[in-house]
Amino acid sequence: MRFVCELLFETGLGNPLHMSILAILSVSAYFVFISSWKRKMKNEIILFKVWELCINHLFNMLRQPLHNIKIFKENKRGILKQENVKKSGHYKVMFESILVVHTYTPFSSSNKLVPDTETPSESNSPGIWRKIIDFLCPFSNSTANMPDKNEEDKGEIQYLDETSPAVVKLVEEQTNMFFKTLIYFIPGVFMSNAIAFLMLTTVNQAEFSSRNRTHWWADMDLQWYSAIFDIILFPLNEFIVYPILRKRNFSNLHIYLTGYLALTLVVMCSLVVQIQLEDELHFMPEEYTSNLRIFNTLPYSCTINIAGFINDTEVEPFEYALETGVPVGKSAKLWVTITEKRNTTESSRTYPVSVKARKSISVIITKNGLFQNGDYDPTLFPAGEINNSVSSFFVIHGLTSLKESPSLNFIETKTLKNTAFRIERGIQHEINAGTYTLEIKEGNKTSSEVNNVVINGAMLYVVFIYDNESEVLTGNVFLLEGPVTLQYYYLILQVFLSNVAQVLSSVAYFTFMFEQSPPKLRGGIFTILSVIQLLGLSFLTYYTKMKHFFSYSKLITVYASIFVFIYILNVYFIV
């Protein structure tokens, strides 16, 4: 299911609007199919009528205020006893009142849970649930259930007497079964979507740490592994694990909680990866902030003051400084004040700088003032997979009077192989890892050299070229981003454990729901469940793809909320 959602999303078909339309069409198609066969489905018609009565019954029960719920319990003598339980805000009371519904007759005028001010005619009027069912299931109305004269003599039941003891008992049993199924259904769907949420976060970890822009099929790597694990784990669970657990008296709830344990291990692995990423990706700007790189081409130090920041930043001659967490306002403009310290004199000037959220911006201090190096800097790995033998670099310079186009020559120390690049500001290039001698040359002028430049793999460098008032150009190489040493097997382990949790929990709650559901309605239940799963996963896929990255603190919050919700549901309503 996750694989299908990823594929639909990446091909442009999996946005929430398309999936909502698909959900409506799928459910409608099922009811249309049932309606087309209504003449051959006498038992199903009666069954739908029973479910209609159940929903009306539940609707009448839930109309009471929570602080004054009327619970009917059967005492030892078999006499109905009414109790007023005032436990405001305690949801267990409400569910207890529903789960003991089989102890009284819902259609008796003395036992109906309706307000005292309501008249009998109002209570017997068709409710909203009945109108919805009549619309979705046209064969369940009164005219569709009238007896057929040709078949009346055969003694077959073609209509329901809502006051007969058999129908009342059937409605009570179906109502009880409906709520038990619902209690298992809620955490089951929630559990599966929670696993999908963690799975998509895992995929985004690999995507975020390895690439910035890439083709859609590169994002499917882990999803292919997920599909393979599903192909292996589902038959393994169905034919080996599940029968063994059944022989060991494992209930569906026990298998369900085993899925929770696997989910806990998934979260632990996710936290390890998240912490590692946040330690290594410290250079990445957070949401609504930007990073400012300040390069000084002057032979004296400068002090930088950014509007809204208390502390000043001092940049040494021919060096650069990094200012992180620069807020990005609505105007996307930032005012930077430069104070030049030349001998005993100081002069200050203020310049506007355009910033962009989650991007790094480079500004260059020159003798002619401050100017910006493009809209934003290149980032680590603009395309493709992680390659530990290749790095990227781009050039920054503050030169304004270049008579001839300068060039960069990377001469490998061992092989003396020369790789030449033109000096183009802000253009990203790739270079193999190794030890180089960097030669900066302008026309026929004498070139300058930077010896023993070590280029490591999977990093982003900047070649900073400046004019130190000599006849030759001078430069330096700075490391800006990297390295990323995320181990791929951490992600594979997360995928495997998430699939284990998915198989155990999904199989357990699907099995329970199918065992408790009427046989004739299992096709419809399966259709609705599949649509809900696909719809929920499409929203999760869309949301996580838009967010791109989740901090481990947010992940802990999400998981804690899921765990508390499911724990309360299990302890109070199931166990």
Using one digit for the tens of pLDDT, what is the confidence trace for 290-320?
889 999 988 888 988 888 776 788 898 889 9
Calpha distance 169→105 (Å, rounded): 8
Q: Bridge-partner residues for 352, per DSSP? A: 335
**Is a pLDDT exceeding 90 seen at residue 80?**
no
DSSP 573: I
Regarding beta strands 69-74 and 80-85, do their DSSP bridges make them parallel or antiparallel, or are they unpaired? antiparallel
Between residues 196 and 303, which one has the greater pLDDT?
303
Q: Bridge-partner residues for 419, per DSSP? A: 410
Q: Bridge-partner residues for 454, per DSSP? A: 435
Amino acid in position 184: Y
- The confidence band for 167, taking pLDDT boundaries of 50, 70 and 90, is low
Handedness of CA 562, 563, 564, 568 (dihedral sign): positive
Closest CA to 150 of 39, 49, 47: 39
Average pLDDT, stretch 202-210? 51
**Is a pLDDT exceeding 80 seen at residue 43?**
no
Closest CA to 281 of 339, 358, 224: 358
Average pLDDT, stretch 554-566? 61
Average pLDDT, stretch 67-75? 35
- The confidence band for 79, taking pLDDT boundaries of 50, 70 and 90, is very low
Spell out the residues 6+ positions from residue 164 whose beta carbon is closer than 8 angstroms to its own.
none
Closest CA to 574 of 246, 258, 101, 183: 183
Calpha distance 122→109 (Å, rounded): 13
List the single range of 84-88, 165-169, 353-357, 370-374 with lowest mean pLDDT.
Answer: 84-88
Calpha distance 14→22 (Å, rounded): 10
Q: What global pTM score does this model have?
A: 0.50
Q: Show the domains of the chain with their CATH numbers.
A: 16-178 (no CATH), 180-280+491-574 (1.20.1250), 289-372 (2.60.40.1120), 390-481 (2.60.40)
Spell out the residues 6+ positions from residue 477 whose beta carbon is closer than 8 angstroms to its own.
393, 438, 450, 453, 461, 462, 463, 464
Calpha distance 481→324 (Å, rounded): 13
Calpha distance 117→122 (Å, rounded): 10
pLDDT at 44: 45
Cβ(2)–Cβ(212) below 8 Å: no
Regarding beta strands 448-455 and 418-422, do their DSSP bridges make them parallel or antiparallel, or are they unpaired? unpaired
pLDDT at 510: 66
Q: For 450-464, write each residue's pLDDT tens digit.
A: 888 999 887 889 999
pLDDT at 549: 46
Spell out the residues 6+ positions from residue 51 whose beta carbon is closer than 8 angstroms to its own.
133, 174, 178
